Structure 1
Amino acid sequence: MEKVVIVDDDEKMSALLVRYLGEFGFEVVSMSRPSEALALLGQSRFDIAILDVMLPEMDGFELLKKIREIDDLPIIMLTARGELHDRVLGLELGSDDYIQKPFEPRELVARIRAILRRRKANGDVVSDSSVIKVAGIVLNRATFSVTVDGVPIELTTSEFQLLDIFLSSPRIVFPREVLMDKLRGSSIGAFDRSIDVLVSRLRTQLQDDSRNPRFIKTIHGIGYVFMAE
């Protein structure tokens, strides 16, 4: 049974999500204070976290940063504002998805399941093609690990998934909307900056200079291509 932690000070919303997710077989823990969540995550392992942006003590973005210092579990951000700035900031800080309030609980269930499927596919299933080696990068789907020139690096779920896409099809130009479809399972317009933010985060982890790229090259007006040596 997958374990979900919810951090939201809206008691009615939290109670609804606890009941609804429980009906779909999730084990759910809900709390309202970020300090409680950090203490719990330091002691117990969860499969995914759902964070509201507006919280007491600190906002959801600050909590996201603190969680990323101790855990790489997938994180979905909840926001009532729905502004592009909030979505981009969440992705920049390492969230895996975002959903705007109000929303249908079944949509949240669908997104949780999609993220967990990707994590399981990338981290738990061993196959003949579980290891990809391209241009000094070794990506292991079975252990959810990546090394660059022999040096291990830590990636979030979405960063790992994006790198997997690039390494699986080197020298192939991916339009932004195609990458978003592959990562999210739904069509998101190329005007949305979230894919650019994710690529920027991945470049940072790979220590790849966008002005003189070794790995990921921007194809202006179209998207990105992974350059294999």
Structure 2
Amino acid sequence: MGQDTCCTPATTTAIASLGTAEAVAGRIKTPIRIMQMNCPTEERLIRDKLAGISSVKELDFNLMQRVLTVVYVPDGLPPVLDAIRSLGYTPEVHEANGKLARAEEVRKPWWPLALAGLAAVLAEVAGWVGLHPAVPAVLALLAVVGSGLTTYKKGWVALRNQNFNINALMSIAVTGALILGQWPEAAMVMVLFAVAELIEARSLDRARCISLSGNWARRSERCSCCNTSAMSNYAG
């Protein structure tokens, strides 16, 4: 009772239906859903990766729906999909048989980040009260591992593709702080970055849900008006 429909499990990550490929002036236009594509950071990484593929003629990104629309020459889709997979992303497209190769988004549990945050705070406290240096070091490492593995993975992929995005820079900064023995600072920076990433992703999910809910509401209104009009005409 009173629960926001956008927060129900069925619509937590509301996504519009994915279109099929179509021919456009001798080329093929295909929408590709990439569930890991949440922000301009991923867009830039994908754009740079696909820029070197000669068969790709045009790219259009829709971050709200996590859809990349690619215009390419015939038979040019496989290298595009391979390039996207090489970044650690899973492309979702309609196959030749009409079936949808779906990549479901996996929700991460909240408790690792919560424990990482607690460990980061305890590392700060341990440093302030002057405990043995090993105590804040261990707590900081636990915090970085609990909150930063995804960032390190994304950062490594970015560096491997010569892309110094925020994930790469954050990975370098935190690693440098750990090497210099700035344990609490490294832990807190990584945890706060992970929290910011989570807030951004949830905000996009919320905006996507509201957008789709509005479209459904307008559709329902149109159907209601049409039905009312038809009933009036029939009664007349």
TM category, shorter: under 0.3
| TM-score, with length taken from structure 2 | 0.25
| TM-score, with length taken from structure 1 | 0.25
Higher strand share: 1
Higher helix share: 2
